[in-house]
């Protein structure tokens, strides 16, 4: 068998190397055959070496350029893959495989439009090209062109009846669109072809979780984890499904069946960190928190951060649902962070170059995967103002999948750093920027943004109300809030130093208001009924809230209450189970809608006579959206900042018509507004007249500018020190 290309002597004529391509065609052809065998065997290094040598011999060899680019794509090096495949297509534009692989490379870096164009080119050349049809359907689905996506995935299924991938992708599309029965059918068909298809089985588990078939879902995740134990997404899916069960013994048994022997030390803390998503009673809340405290006491000093990727893989993170309990979370959050410990390595910022004297203050906004809209919504306007003043440099550290979307939504002067799930590696990359201030929009919505601050990628780190509760992490210096929403002695609630602006700490853009697409009849309500809407995330409904809803329903015999469920049908089922115990005599007048598109949500909001804020953890973005539409939102300020944002908005507007003094007053206000059309109209009119101060807030932009300037100088002094 011939060896690598250098063993093939070039044909010679008169003692010189021949330039006659006819004479070297066989040599190159044999070399390409050897390279392909290496390539198919997974020996990319050997294959790439031969492809490169073929190109040296014949720079117009389109297949060599294409296959060299394909190796780049398969190795995850899309930035090198794309120009190589493009070079192949410049030589020969008639290669459908090259167009399809170029589409796959674009898709891998989140460039959906370019991927769609490449896949379409492949399909034009070869209408039954399965990979191109599959990729095109997948990308059209991500672009929101659902009908077209279904069409092309259907063509891919017809073109290769024994290929499970198009069926799996069709199931994933149906899952994203909430078409759970269709998703269930497609994914089962894919698994009948290939029972080991990890993505299909994982997505089937997600479908079953959302359908409330939690035990079946857990079985799916346990099966795939046995084959892919290092896939963090699978552990996350298992964790979410176990959260719906919230039975400690069941959770322990589930983890015992999938944890490797080396990870058994995580069993108890994994089990105790799973917090019930819908609490059935205040007793359940208190019992859970006591159990967690005991476990954290036993686990103190473990210093788990020494193997942070193990924590990331198994999705061990401070319980997300703690802030919805209406309790002081600082002791628990600090205890969890103390258990995690401190990295042995010096802070990531100390490993970077020093800042340039006199240079603009450098702000960096790190984002976890698919958390880009939190930055755009709450800080996009502020970033515009900071850049315009010319005194700041802004970098967004984001995952490649979100890069293109952010580029479209943020100012062109924003710079980007592409990071990945390797949290320590990402911290070092951010540290190399020599940023002055790291502003975390969220800490604790996932493992990545929870563990990143531990590595101190900048001298100053700031948290804010994307997660409106203390982080408990010693490396986070400040928590940014507002004096409008913090209660007396608020400093006691934070492990960070508390900074309070005079206005709200966001520059929120006014929502685009369009005429409602549906009236209340479309949602099953009559004009005679009085519609009270509590349209918050369903897990915000604390057990203390049930009695308030019941009192409204008892005092207004025409009252109906609208709630909106989450992604999982089981969450609504858990809430109904609670209502059966707490308010059984009136629960038939509470309607829980499934999750709905944004335009339907806005229509339902505007169909309500009055909107109700939740207790303990109230509206945030929802308050801005409701008030932006001129809708009255009755609120009862809570003990902690997370229950006081709506009141803060009203304080900015100098209105208190919808702000309750206590629970009885909350019920009274809701009944008055719902039953008095003139009062309701007057409140709506004044909200519309006064709500401009909430949006594109120039005062907030100026306060943030002064704050970041001050923190930037503090950072530089700290770096020098």
Q: What is the CATH number of the domain that holds 385?
A: 3.40.50.11380
Is residue 240 assigned to a domain? no
**How confident is the model at residue 685, as a pLDDT?**
97
Q: Which two tokens stand for residue 692?
A: 């401009």
Buried b (16+ CB within 10 A) or exposed e, 376-408: bbbbbbbbbbbbeeeebbbbbbbbbbbbbbbee
Tell me, what's the pLDDT at 355? 60
Residues 401 and 422 in one domain: yes
SS3 category, 471: coil
Contact 190, 164 (CB under 8 A): yes
Do 195 and 273 lie in one domain? The reply is no
* Residues 9, 128 share a domain: yes
Query: What are the helix and strand counts (H, E) for the chain?
Result: 30, 14
Which residue(s) pair with 398 in the sheet? Answer: 418
Output the pLDDT for position 301: 85
Whether residues 52 and 190 share a domain: the answer is yes
In terms of domains, do 559 and 480 share one? Answer: no
Q: Quote the longest CA-to-CA distance of the chain.
A: 107
Residue 211 lies in a domain: no
Q: How many Å apart are CA 564 and CA 192, to the nearest integer? A: 35
Q: What are the tokens at 531?
A: 């519609």
Within a domain: 442: yes
Question: Which of 326, 283, 294, 659 minimizes the C-alpha distance to 469?
Answer: 326
Taken in order 75, 76, 80, 82, is the CA torsion positive or negative? positive
State which of 284, 318, 340 marks the end of a domain: 340
Indicate whether 675 belongs to any domain: yes
- Going across the sheet that includes 392-399, the strands are 415-419, 392-399, 361-366, 437-440, 460-463, 478-482, 497-501
Over the chain (721 residues), what is each successive 10-residue block's mean pLDDT? 30 32 60 93 94 94 96 93 97 97 93 95 97 96 93 96 95 91 96 94 92 88 88 87 80 88 90 93 96 94 91 93 97 96 90 71 95 92 94 95 91 95 94 96 95 97 95 98 96 98 93 88 96 96 98 98 88 94 97 92 96 97 95 98 97 97 98 97 97 95 96 92 68
Rounded to whole angstroms, the Cα distance separating 319 from 33 reads 55
Least Cα distance to 73 among 39, 49, 30 occurs for 39
Q: For residue 359, give both structure tokens.
A: 């240079």
- pLDDT value at position 17? 35
Q: Looking at the structure, do residues 48 and 178 belong to the same domain, yes or no?
A: yes
* The domain boundary residue, chosen from 204, 226, 256: 204
Measured CA distances, 468 to 116, 375, 595 (Å) = 39, 15, 24
pLDDT at 11: 28
497 and 531 fall within a common domain: no
pTM for the structure as a whole: 0.85
Token pair belonging to 365: 């906004």
Q: Does 635 lie in the same domain as 545?
A: yes
Same domain, 179 and 313: no
C-alpha torsion angle, residues 162, 168, 170, 174 (rounded to 10)? 150
Pairing of the two strands 16-17 and 12-13: antiparallel
Cα(398)–Cα(420) distance, integer angstroms: 8
Quick check: is 221 in a domain?
A: no
Q: 685: burial class by Cβ within 10 Å (0-12, 13-18, 19+)?
A: exposed
Q: Which 3 state secondary structure label does DSSP give 655?
A: coil
- Domain encompassing residue 286: 248-340
User: Which helix H or strand E contains 330, and what residues bound it?
Assistant: helix 330-340
Do both 590 and 630 map to the same domain? yes
Round to whole Å and give the CA distance between 34 and 5: 9
For residue 213, tell me if it sits in a domain.
Answer: no
Do residues 158 and 133 lie in contact, with contact meaning Cβ atoms separated by under 8 Å? no
Are 274 and 383 part of one and the same domain?
Answer: no
- Beta-strand ranges (E) seen in 14-111 are 16-17
pLDDT of 5: 32
**147/50 same-domain check:** yes
Residue 212 resides in a domain: no
Q: 516-522 long-range CB contacts below 8 Å, 24 or more apart?
A: 516/602, 516/603, 516/606, 516/607, 517/599, 517/600, 517/603, 518/600, 518/603, 518/604, 518/607, 519/603, 519/607, 520/607, 522/603
Number of domains in the chain: 4
User: What pLDDT score does 246 carry?
Assistant: 67
| H helix or E strand, kind and range, residue 674 | helix 663-675
Lookup: tokens for 549:
């809803």
CATH number of the domain within which 560 lies = 3.40.50.2000
User: Domain boundary residue among 143, 178, 204?
Assistant: 204
Residue 567 domain-assigned (yes or no): yes
Q: What is residue 354's predicted lDDT score, i.e. its pLDDT?
A: 63
Question: Distance between CA 547 and CA 554 in Å, rounded?
Answer: 10
């Amino acid at each position: 068998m011939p060896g690598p290309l250098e063993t093939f002597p070039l044909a010679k004529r008169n003692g010189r190397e021949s330039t006659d391509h006819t004479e070297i065609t066989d040599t190159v052809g044999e070399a390409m055959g050897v390279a392909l065998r290496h390539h198919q065997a997974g020996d990319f290094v050997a294959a790439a070496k031969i492809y490169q040598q073929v190109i040296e011999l014949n720079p117009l060899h389109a297949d060599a350029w294409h296959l060299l680019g394909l190796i780049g794509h398969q190795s995850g090096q899309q930035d090198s893959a794309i120009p190589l495949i493009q070079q192949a297509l410049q030589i020969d534009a008639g290669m459908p495989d090259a167009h399809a692989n170029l589409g796959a490379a674009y898709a891998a870096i989140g460039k959906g439009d370019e991927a769609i164009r490449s896949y379409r080119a492949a399909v034009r050349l070869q209408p039954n090209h399965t990979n191109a049809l599959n990729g095109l359907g997948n990308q059209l689905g991500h672009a929101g062109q659902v009908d077209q996506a279904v069409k092309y995935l259907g063509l891919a299924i017809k073109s290769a009846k024994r290929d499970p991938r198009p069926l799996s992708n069709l199931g994933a599309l149906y899952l994203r669109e909430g078409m759970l029965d269709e998703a269930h059918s497609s994914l089962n068909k894919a698994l009948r072809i290939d029972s080991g298809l990890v993505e299909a089985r994982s997505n089937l588990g997600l479908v079953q979780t959302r359908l409330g078939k939690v035990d079946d879902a857990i079985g799916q995740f346990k099966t795939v984890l046995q084959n892919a134990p290092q896939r963090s997404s699978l552990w996350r899916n298992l964790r979410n499904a176990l959260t719906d069960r919230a039975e400690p013994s069941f959770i322990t048994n589930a983890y015992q069946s999938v944890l490797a022997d080396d990870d058994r030390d995580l069993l108890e803390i994994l089990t105790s960190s799973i917090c019930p998503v819908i609490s059935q009673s205040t007793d359940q809340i208190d019992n859970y928190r006591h159990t967690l405290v005991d476990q954290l006491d036993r686990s103190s000093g473990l210093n788990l951060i020494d193997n942070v990727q193990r924590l990331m893989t198994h999705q061990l993170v401070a319980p997300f649902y703690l802030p919805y309990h209406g309790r002081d979370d600082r002791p628990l959050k600090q205890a969890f962070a103390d258990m995690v410990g401190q990295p042995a390595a010096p802070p990531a910022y100390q490993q970077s170059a020093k800042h340039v004297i006199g240079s603009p203050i450098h702000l960096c906004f790190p984002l976890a995967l698919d958390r880009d809209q939190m930055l755009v919504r709450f800080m996009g306007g502020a970033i515009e103002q900071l850049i315009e003043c010319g005194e700041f440099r802004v970098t967004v550290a984001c995952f490649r999948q979100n890069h293109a979307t952010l580029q479209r939504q943020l100012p062109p002067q924003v710079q980007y750093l592409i990071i990945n799930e390797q949290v320590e590696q990402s911290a070092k990359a951010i540290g190399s920027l020599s940023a002055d201030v790291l502003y975390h929009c969220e800490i604790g919505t996932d493992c990545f943004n929870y563990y990143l601050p531990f590595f101190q990628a900048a001298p100053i780190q700031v948290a804010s109300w994307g997660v409106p509760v203390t982080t408990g992490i010693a490396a986070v210096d400040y928590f940014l809030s507002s004096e409008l929403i913090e209660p007396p002695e608020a400093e006691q609630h934070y492990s960070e130093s508390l900074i309070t602006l005079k206005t709200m700490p966001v520059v929120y853009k006014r929502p685009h208001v369009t005429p409602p697409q549906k009236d209340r009849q479309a949602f099953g309500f009559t004009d005679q009924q009085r519609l009270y809407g509590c349209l918050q995330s369903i897990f915000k409904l604390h057990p203390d809230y049930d009695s308030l809803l019941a009192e409204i329903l008892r005092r207004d015999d025409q009252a109906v209450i609208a709630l909106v469920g989450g992604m999982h049908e089981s969450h609504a089922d858990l809430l109904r189970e609670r209502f059966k115990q707490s308010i059984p005599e009136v629960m038939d007048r509470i309607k829980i809608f499934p999750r709905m598109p944004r335009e339907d949500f806005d229509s339902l909001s505007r169909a309500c006579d009055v909107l109700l804020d939740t207790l303990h953890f109230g509206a945030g973005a929802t308050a801005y959206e409701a008030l932006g539409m001129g809708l009255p939102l009755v609120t009862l300020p809570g003990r902690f900042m997370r229950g006081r944002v709506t009141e803060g908005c009203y304080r900015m507007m100098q209105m208190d018509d919808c702000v309750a003094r206590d629970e009885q007053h909350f019920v009274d206000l809701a009944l008055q507004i719902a039953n008095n059309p003139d009062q309701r109209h007057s409140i709506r009119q004044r909200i519309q007249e006064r709500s401009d101060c909430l949006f594109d807030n120039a005062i907030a932009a100026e306060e943030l500018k002064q704050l970041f300037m001050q923190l930037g100088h503090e950072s530089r002094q700290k770096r020098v020190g």
